[in-house]
Amino acid sequence: MEITRLLRTIKTHHPQADLDLVRLAYDFAEEAHRGQKRLSGEDYVTHSLATAQTLAEMKFSAAIVIAGLLHDVPEDTSVTLEDIKKNFGSDIAGMIQGVTKLGKIKYRGLERYIENLRKMFLAMAEDVRVVFIKFADRLHNLETLDALPPQKRLRVALESLEIYAAIANRLGMGDIKGRIEDLSFKYVYPEEYAWVTGLVRERYVEKERYLRRTGKIVERELSAAGITPISVYGRTKHLYSLYKKLLRYDRDIARIYDLVALRIIVKNVADCYAALGIIHARWKPLKGRIKDYIAQPKPNGYQSLHTTIFCEGGEVVEIQIRTERMHEESEMGVAAHWTYDEGGKGSAQPPQNLRWAQELLKIQKELGKSDDALESLQELKIDVFQNRIFAFTPKGDVIDLPEDSTPVDFAYAIHSDIGDSCVGSRVNDQLVPLSTPLRSGDVVQIITDKNRRAPSQDWLAFVKTQGARSKIKARVRKARRG
């Protein structure tokens, strides 16, 4: 790991970046950490450099990379945040302050967990770039986990799996999520890890060879139709996500079709659909396995066309077709929005269309007020990490909810008055009980009665969102009193 490699990586993605400032930051970090060693015996600055390298490879601007280089300086050395501000400006110093705040957690057990989560959410709401730096930092710590005592190893790995990977997933950062999970997997479930790696070792080699051959055929077929793919390659499934899928399929690897998948990246959406047609013309698709996530993206924003086909020699192969932009978004999620600017000045504000980032700010404010913060946080954790669905109002507005949410959750998500006065619901024009679990794409109409004084306490038994739960509790309490 060297500074020249870091500079080269930044330059590839940001030709205009101020590389002198990056070099200065490296020298600054090297001097500040001089004499400090990692538990692995390496000079401390190797950690700073590895963190920065990961950020640069994620195509982040120089400012974020510099913050990565300096992220442990105020915490671990005599150099202060003020010194950093003087040399590198307030934007970079602000990010480092955010990372430092995240580092200080002195609790144990469940309280430690909650505190950790709370700080991650706070950091995310204030400046999500801090969380990106924390991911890069955590990745290198996981890569060098063997140097830690076993007890601490397990704690770090578990925390990474339960908090960091979950948040990365919610931010749509598929690549980071997969890497954090796979690195933690080995320490959290060592026996299961050995089992899964054993299962895939030979299969991956064999399947990759097969996909290389198939990829060539696909490229030929596409070019014959006048489509030049940007790339065609086989992707192997991340180990931990394969493990979780195996648990859902009786541990039977023969039933898992996307162990490896053929990924086709093309220029635009029209080419995506054309490519799908060309593939289906040559190979028969399996029934019920064609998924159009372009027309109907997953709630975390994921877009692609998926199909599973009976391919050469009768092999069952999953194909994923997407544009370059969709690919970037699926690997990088929210972070993709911070990589496009050239100058190196990233914005601390989330992009406007990030509904749930704004949601988060709202929840954050509510949490600040509530006195049973611990309970709310546990509920919030469930809210944020559950899979999401989209449901629609009759006017076509989208309401983003956790999986299995009910019309009552939907009503409270629109407005607390609608929740309080709701008496019935129609889903896709059918009258249904208020406890009915909603599915993505449902059109939900809430029937209200102005004379209804308060929500029913019975709703607490089935609502899924923290927002609905806390409002029902508060209203029921108030109605009893008065």
Q: How far is CA 297 from CA 274, 350, 441, in A?
A: 19, 20, 11
Closest distance to Mn ion from the beta carbon of 73 (Å): 10
**Is 76 designated active site?**
yes
Q: Which of 18, 30, 43, 76 is catalytic?
A: 76
Closest distance to Mn ion from the beta carbon of 71 (Å): 6
Taking the least distance from each CB to Mn ion, the nearer of 137 and 409 is 137
Taking the least distance from each CB to Mn ion, the nearer of 132 and 210 is 132
Closest distance to Mn ion from the beta carbon of 23 (Å): 20
Tell me the two tokens of residue 356.
């749930």
Taking the least distance from each CB to Mn ion, the nearer of 72 and 258 is 72
Taking the least distance from each CB to Mn ion, the nearer of 11 and 38 is 38
Three-state SS string over the chain comes to CCHHHHHHHHHHHCCCCCHHHHHHHHHHHHHHCCCCECCCCCECHHHHHHHHHHHHHCCCCHHHHHHHHCCCHHHHCCCCHHHHHHHHHHHHHHHHHHHHHHHCCCCCHHHHHHHHHHHHHHHHHHCHHHHHHHHHHHHHHHHCHHHCCHHHHHHHHHHHHHHHHHHHHHCCCHHHHHHHHHHHHHHHCHHHHHHHHHHHHHHHHHHHHHHHHHHHHHHHHHHHCCCCCCEEEEEECCHHHHHHHHHHCCCCHHHCCCCEEEEEEECCHHHHHHHHHHHHHHCCECCCCCEECCCCCCCCCCCCEEEEEECHHHCEEEEEEEEHHHHHHHHHHHHHHHCCCCCCCCCCCCCCCCHHHHHHHHHHHHHHHCCCHHHHHHHHHHHHHCCEEEEECCCCCEEEEECCCCHHHHHHHHCHHHHHCEEEEEECCEEECCCCCCCCCCEEEEEECCCCCCCCHHHHHCCCCHHHHHHHHHHHHHHHHC
Taking the least distance from each CB to Mn ion, the nearer of 48 and 421 is 48
Closest distance to Mn ion from the beta carbon of 90 (Å): 21
Closest distance to Mn ion from the beta carbon of 65 (Å): 14
Closest distance to Mn ion from the beta carbon of 72 (Å): 5
Q: Which of 2, 27, 31, 75 is catalytic?
A: 75
Closest distance to Mn ion from the beta carbon of 292 (Å): 42
Taking the least distance from each CB to Mn ion, the nearer of 142 and 266 is 142
Where on the chain is the footprint of Mn ion (CB under 5 A)? 72, 137
Report the residue closest to Mn ion, judged by CB: 137
Burial of 104 (0-12, 13-18, 19+ CB in 10 A): exposed
Taking the least distance from each CB to Mn ion, the nearer of 137 and 181 is 137
Which sequence positions are flagged as catalytic? 75-76
